[in-house]
């Protein structure tokens, strides 16, 4: 993995300065609210006697830490921590994604799993679903302005490729940006010309900001992919304050403030330094995913779910930060392993979405050696925009890739030479053909995972998950759709489709599909795995009560492994005589040591028996001998694999109690 | 460098051999010089060697003839592009969109401009605005889209001193 410097500026340790006392800017680091279970959204608003309380939506980390909204008394004082004032939403939320608080204290929360916009009234009491499917497909960021009949609520809907504007409490929205937006994540109201209210949207697939009139008229779009000032990489959220648009430039690990008005789109300033060491903070940023600015402009909050924290920034003198030239290096975005891995023969393919490439590795040795990067960013056929998954077959000669920005499946040939000495080949791939998944299905399609059965034969079956509809599209060898996998009446629907993998049942092939949300009740997310037969019928589900937020799945012979993002564990299942699948143990837990993980995603059981886990949040992969529960090797970011190397290799993993109290392997 | 000889070569070595798996067959193999003569009616034009390659799925045959010889470095040039039915040799028209682009796979970049395609009376297309701004190995990508499907024919060229 590349260890890359992102845009680095001064760490903003300037003294605080109240607004209104000469030129000042937002961006001086104040304090950190730590120990939050994957904070995914933030907002400021009135709570009790505090006019600018900090609301934080957390995704949770299992039974002991359910999804909810916590309220803190944040202050613009570096010497005072933010006390917890209360919480709401527990028992209602499953996968919060966006958060906004009105001037009256009404709280609006989007839940991507429930496909719902929740309204928690300011006076307390039970929430109400302000909108749900089909008005919302996969809601993300949300903003609110006004009140009563003049209230406007806008929701970014990356599953639909549009934003939805709700007027005066109506559950029926007006879609905006169709045909322009691809994966809108963040949205906010801004002050336009002559006092008009407009809507600004950040699109994480096109890496652009778009501005719309309330009637849907597209005003303009600006920026594009890149690491340099004013360019963006995976913008995740935005907020309007100080007459500027503050953008959480997620994969550049910084915040950029753009002018509004006549010079809209011009960069005003930027702040944030890329956190290099594990857990580094105090102004150093690591994938900031959401931001909010208090009404008085005194505080800016940044949520970093990969580090379980919210950092608070205040004001500093001057119109913009002063750059530190000693840290002003600029480079392409850093790359995380994950969310997917595949192998065939001695070759392994990994996905690094922020690099917009698929990496091909040779695994003849103890550790994978990268031999090629496939494709580059773009919209033309043969290019990717945010690749999500890959499938390698035919001894490494055939590659499938799906990218969410183009909603495309691309089929490529790789010129691998396993009989020759290991060698890098930048021209390894030739792109053969592909299919526009949105066009072929006639609906917005959000690809997430891909696999193939019987590749290279006339019976080839290609499977692609669709996060917009929580189903799996089946295509034949000619890329023609031939069916869909989904839950049935007995199992209920898939909610939050994630990884998939072929498996075997006797001599037949089956298909495992991860249902990351499962059939759990509100407030009790419980994942599971579906097993589909060759005909597409549901054979069984398994993992209920064990899995919380499963993501990757892999199978070899009678063994099945599943990664769990919420518990940072790997769970192991075994097929029993008769076909049933039972949980037989697992290992893991949050940490940097051998067999410890942070947001494990892709997982792969190789033909030679090695088990590879993409330890996504730790910027590394770990290779295990699952028969002996030993770590064979680690690969990836130097600072993150040091804790593995400092331990002796072939370290036996400590068996951990599984969630049923049994001893797992 | 200006006086260097620019040569257009078919890169037979770049394709996969028969013992290297399905890539060569599926991709239609590397570009090879065509025995076909240039399209009639353009005898007065300077033309380079015609190259052709089958598409990955065998749906069409792409034939490219530079309308300049040799291909210049860092100067715009044009090519004649013909899509043919690989079995009958008749013009292939069963597509919704066609495009031609040039990339340097080893450098992870390509041309910095779009190429305009103009239909010709003989059924071919004239592609204006190609520009290869570096010496080295380039790949010409001829992509068609039919409905939701994409399919590519790929032709290797090398711009040499």
Average pLDDT over chain A, rounded to whole? 88
Q: What is the per-residue pLDDT across A244-280, written as a single tens digit (0 to 9) for each?
A: 999 999 999 999 999 998 889 999 999 988 887 888 8
Q: How far does the CA of residue A175 sit from the closest CA of chain B (Å)?
A: 25
Residue A647's pLDDT is 60
Q: Is residue B114 part of a domain?
A: yes
**Domain count of chain B?**
1
Cα dihedral across residues A565, A567, A570, A575: positive or negative: negative
Instruction: Give the pLDDT band (50/70/90) at residue B48.
Output: confident
Instruction: Give the pLDDT band (50/70/90) at residue A661.
Output: very low
Mean pLDDT, range A326-336, rounded to an integer: 60
Contact state of B27 with A430 under an 8 Å Cβ cutoff: yes
Q: What is the per-residue pLDDT across A395-409, written as a single tens digit (0 to 9) for each?
A: 999 999 999 999 999
Comparing CA positions, the residue from A282, A385, A279 lying closest to residue A617 is A279
Residue in chain B lying closest to A407 (CA): B148
Beta carbons of B155 and B13 less than 8 angstroms apart: no
Residue B18 in contact with partner chain A when CB distance is under 8 A: no
Residue A525's pLDDT is 58
Mean pLDDT, range B36-44, rounded to an integer: 46
Contact state of A432 with B105 under an 8 Å Cβ cutoff: no
Instruction: Give the pLDDT band (50/70/90) at residue A329.
Output: low
Residue in chain A lying closest to B138 (CA): A427
Residues of B in contact with A376 (CB under 8 A): 108-109
Q: Do domains A28-313 and A489-665 have the same CATH topology?
A: yes
Residue B112's pLDDT is 83
Render B73-107 in DSSP notation, one character per residue.
SSS-EEEEEEEE-TTT-PBP---SEEEEEEEETTT
Q: Is residue B6 part of a domain?
A: no
Contact state of A376 with B148 under an 8 Å Cβ cutoff: no
Q: How far does the CA of residue B131 sit from the closest CA of chain A (Å)?
A: 18
Q: How far does the CA of residue A409 sit from the closest CA of chain B (Å)?
A: 10
Contact state of A433 with B109 under an 8 Å Cβ cutoff: no
Q: How far does the CA of residue A434 sit from the closest CA of chain B (Å)?
A: 5
Q: Is residue B2 part of a domain?
A: no
Residues of B in contact with A381 (CB under 8 A): 141, 143, 145, 150, 152
Residue A324's pLDDT is 67
Question: Which of B21, B108, B150 comes nearest A394 by C-beta?
Answer: B21
Q: What is the span of the domain harbouring residue B62?
A: 12-159
Residue A281's pLDDT is 84
Residue in chain A lying closest to B108 (CA): A376
Contact state of A439 with B27 under an 8 Å Cβ cutoff: no
Instruction: Give the pLDDT band (50/70/90) at residue A17.
Output: low
Mean pLDDT, range A128-156, rounded to an integer: 94
Give the number of other Cβ atoms within 10 Å of residue A395's Cβ.
15
Instruction: Give the pLDDT band (50/70/90) at residue A331.
Output: low
Average pLDDT over chain B, rounded to whole? 77
Instruction: Give the pLDDT band (50/70/90) at residue A322.
Output: confident
Query: Is pLDDT above 50 for A637?
Result: yes
Residue A325's pLDDT is 65
CATH class of A489-665: mainly beta
Residue B109 in contact with partner chain A when CB distance is under 8 A: yes
Mean pLDDT, range A515-523, rounded to an integer: 76
Residue B11 in contact with partner chain A when CB distance is under 8 A: no
Instruction: Give the pLDDT band (50/70/90) at residue A535.
Output: confident
Comparing CA positions, the residue from A347, A344, A352, A336 lying closest to residue A424 is A347
Contact state of B148 with A431 under an 8 Å Cβ cutoff: no
Mean pLDDT, range A466-472, rounded to an integer: 96
Q: What are B131-135's contacts with CB under 8 Å, separation 24+? A: B131/B74, B131/B75, B131/B76, B131/B77, B132/B71, B132/B73, B132/B74, B132/B102, B132/B159, B133/B73, B133/B74, B134/B73, B134/B74, B134/B104, B134/B107, B134/B159, B135/B73, B135/B159, B135/B160, B135/B161
Q: How far does the CA of residue A383 sit from the closest CA of chain B (Å)?
A: 10
Instruction: Give the pLDDT band (50/70/90) at residue A74.
Output: confident
Q: How far does the CA of residue A358 sit from the closest CA of chain B (Å)?
A: 13
Residues of B in contact with A346 (CB under 8 A): none
Question: Which of A373, A440, A456 comes nearest B148 by C-beta?
Answer: A440
Burial of A23 (0-12, 13-18, 19+ CB in 10 A): exposed
Query: Is pLDDT above 70 for A354?
Result: yes
Residue B32 in contact with partner chain A when CB distance is under 8 A: no
Mean pLDDT, range A554-567, rounded to an integer: 94
Query: Is pLDDT above 50 for A114?
Result: yes
Mean pLDDT, range A374-394, rounded to an integer: 93
Question: Which of A430, A433, A440 comes nearest B57 by C-beta?
Answer: A433
Q: What is the per-residue pLDDT across A561-607, written as a single tens digit (0 to 9) for each?
A: 999 999 999 999 999 998 999 999 999 999 999 999 999 999 999 88
Residues of B in contact with A423 (CB under 8 A): none
Give the pairing type, strands A244-249 and A235-241.
antiparallel
Q: What is the per-residue pLDDT across A412-433, written as a single tens digit (0 to 9) for each?
A: 999 999 999 888 999 999 999 9
Residue A16's pLDDT is 52
Residue A9's pLDDT is 38
Residues of chain A whose C-beta is under 8 A from some C-beta in B? 373, 376, 380-382, 394-395, 397-398, 408, 411, 413-417, 426-427, 429-437, 439-440, 456, 478-479
Q: Which residues contact A175 (CB under 8 A, 6 or more apart)?
A: A160, A162, A163, A164, A165, A216
Residues of B in contact with A395 (CB under 8 A): 21
Instruction: Give the pLDDT band (50/70/90) at residue A520.
Output: low
Instruction: Give the pLDDT band (50/70/90) at residue A333.
Output: low
Beta carbons of A427 and A412 less than 8 angstroms apart: no
Min mean pLDDT across A305-319, A602-616, B9-23 is at: B9-23
Give the pairing type, strands A357-362 and A369-374.
antiparallel
Residue B154 in contact with partner chain A when CB distance is under 8 A: yes
Q: Is residue B95 part of a domain?
A: yes
Locate the domains of chain A by residue range: 28-313, 489-665
Query: Is pLDDT above 50 for B19?
Result: no
Question: Which of B107, B141, B149 comes nearest A382 by C-beta?
Answer: B141
Residue A132's pLDDT is 92
Contact state of A381 with B109 under an 8 Å Cβ cutoff: no
Contact state of A426 with B57 under an 8 Å Cβ cutoff: no
Question: How far lies B12's CA from each of A454, B61, B158, in Å?
Answer: 31, 17, 11
Q: Is residue B65 part of a domain?
A: yes
Q: Which residues contact A624 (CB under 8 A, 6 or more apart)?
A: A595, A610, A611, A612, A613, A630, A631, A632, A653
Residue A334's pLDDT is 56
CATH number at residue B102: 2.60.40.1930
Residue A645's pLDDT is 75
Strand order through the sheet with A244-249: A235-241, A244-249, A254-259, A267-271
Q: How far does the CA of residue A91 sit from the closest CA of chain B (Å)?
A: 43
Q: What is the second-level CATH architecture of the domain A28-313?
A: 6 Propeller (2.120)
Query: Is pLDDT above 70 for B20?
Result: no
Question: Which of B23, B55, B141 comes nearest A413 by C-beta?
Answer: B23
Residue A609's pLDDT is 84
Min mean pLDDT across A169-178, A509-518, A620-629 is at: A620-629
Q: Is residue B7 part of a domain?
A: no
Question: Left, alpha or beta for A40 (phi > 0: left; psi -120 to 50: alpha)?
Answer: alpha
Contact state of B149 with A479 under an 8 Å Cβ cutoff: yes
């Amino acid at each position: 993995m590349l260890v890359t410097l992102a845009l680095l500026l001064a760490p903003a340790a300037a003294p605080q300065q109240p607004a209104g006392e000469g030129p000042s800017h937002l961006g001086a680091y104040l304090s950190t609210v730590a120990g939050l279970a994957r904070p995914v959204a933030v907002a400021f608003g009135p709570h009790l006697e505090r006019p600018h309380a900090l609301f934080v939506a957390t995704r949770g980390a299992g039974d002991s830490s359910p999804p909810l909204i916590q309220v803190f008394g944040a202050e613009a004082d570096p010497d005072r921590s933010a006390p917890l004032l209360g919480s709401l939403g527990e028992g209602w939320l499953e996968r919060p994604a966006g958060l906004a608080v009105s001037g009256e204290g009404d709280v609006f929360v989007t839940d991507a799993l429930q496909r719902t916009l929740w309204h928690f009234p300011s006076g307390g009491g039970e929430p109400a679903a302000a909108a749900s499917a089909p008005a919302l497909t996969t809601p993300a960021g949300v903003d609110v302005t006004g009140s009563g009949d003049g209230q406007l609520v806008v929701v970014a809907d990356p599953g639909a490729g549009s934003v939805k504007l709700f007027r005066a409490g109506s559950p029926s929205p007006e879609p905006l940006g169709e045909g322009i937006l691809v994966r809108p994540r963040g949205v906010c109201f801004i002050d336009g010309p002559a006092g008009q209210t407009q809507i600004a949207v950040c699109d994480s697939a096109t890496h652009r900001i778009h501005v719309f009139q309330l009637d849907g008229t597209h005003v303009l779009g600006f920026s594009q992919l890149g690491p340099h000032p004013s360019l963006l990489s995976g913008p995740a959220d935005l907020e309007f304050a100080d007459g500027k648009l503050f953008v959480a430039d997620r994969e550049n690990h910084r915040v950029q403030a753009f002018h509004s008005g006549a010079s809209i789109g011009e960069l005003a300033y930027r702040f944030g330094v890329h956190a290099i060491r594990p857990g580094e903070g105090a102004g150093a940023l690591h994938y900031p995913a959401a931001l909010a600015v208090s009404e008085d402009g005194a505080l800016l909050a940044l949520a970093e779910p990969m580090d379980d924290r919210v950092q608070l920034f205040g004001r500093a003198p001057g119109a913009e930060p002063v750059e530190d030239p000693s840290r002003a290096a600029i480079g392409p975005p850093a790359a995380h392993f994950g969310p997917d891995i595949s192998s065939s023969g001695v070759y392994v393919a990994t996905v690094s979405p922020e690099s917009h490439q698929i990496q091909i590795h040779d695994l003849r040795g103890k550790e994978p050696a990268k031999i090629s990067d496939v494709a580059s960013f773009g919209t033309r056929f043969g290019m990717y925009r945010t690749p999500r998954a890959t499938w390698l077959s035919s001894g490494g000669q055939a590659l499938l890739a799906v990218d969410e920005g183009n909603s495309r499946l691309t089929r490529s040939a790789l010129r691998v030479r396993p009989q020759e000495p290991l060698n890098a080949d930048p021209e390894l791939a030739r792109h053969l053909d592909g299919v526009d998944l949105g066009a072929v299905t006639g609906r917005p399609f959000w690809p997430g995972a891909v696999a193939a059965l019987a590749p290279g034969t006339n019976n080839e079956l290609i499977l692609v998950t669709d996060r917009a509809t929580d189903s799996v599209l089946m295509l034949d060898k000619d890329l023609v759709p031939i069916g869909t996998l989904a839950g049935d009446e007995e199992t209920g629907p898939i909610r939050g489709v994630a990884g998939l993998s072929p498996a075997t049942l006797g001599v037949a092939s089956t298909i495992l599909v991860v249902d990351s949300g499962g059939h759990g009740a509100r407030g009790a997310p419980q994942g599971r795995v579906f097993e589909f037969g060759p005909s597409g019928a549901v054979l069984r589900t398994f993992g209920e009560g064990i899995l919380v937020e499963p993501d990757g799945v892999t199978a070899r012979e009678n063994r099945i492994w599943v990664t769990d993002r919420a518990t940072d564990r790997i769970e192991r299942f075994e097929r029993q005589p008769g076909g049933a699948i039972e949980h037989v143990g697992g290992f893991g837990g949050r940490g940097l040591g051998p067999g410890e993980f942070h947001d494990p995603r892709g997982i792969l059981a190789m033909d030679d028996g090695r088990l590879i886990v993409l330890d996504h949040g730790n910027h590394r992969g770990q290779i295990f001998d699952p028969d002996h529960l030993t770590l064979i090797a680690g690969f990836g970011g130097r600072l993150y694999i040091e804790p593995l190397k400092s331990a002796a290799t072939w370290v036996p993993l400590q068996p951990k109690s599984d969630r049923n109290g049994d001893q797992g392997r | 460098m200006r006086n260097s000889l620019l040569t257009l070569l078919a890169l037979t070595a770049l394709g996969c051999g028969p013992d290297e798996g399905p890539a060569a067959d599926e991709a239609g193999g590397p570009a090879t010089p065509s025995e076909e003569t240039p399209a009639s009616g353009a005898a007065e034009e300077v033309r380079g060697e015609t190259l052709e390659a089958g598409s990955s799925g065998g749906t069409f045959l792409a034939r490219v003839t530079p309308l300049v010889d040799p291909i210049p470095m860092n100067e715009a040039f044009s090519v004649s592009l013909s899509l043919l039915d690989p079995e009958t040799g008749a013009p292939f028209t069963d597509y919704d969109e066609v495009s031609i682009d040039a990339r340097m796979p080893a450098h992870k970049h390509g041309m910095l401009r779009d190429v305009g395609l103009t239909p010709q009376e003989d059924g071919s297309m004239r592609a204006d605005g190609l520009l290869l701004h570096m010496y080295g190995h380039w790949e010409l990508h001829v992509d068609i889209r039919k409905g939701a499907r994409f399919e590519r024919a790929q032709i290797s060229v090398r711009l040499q001193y």
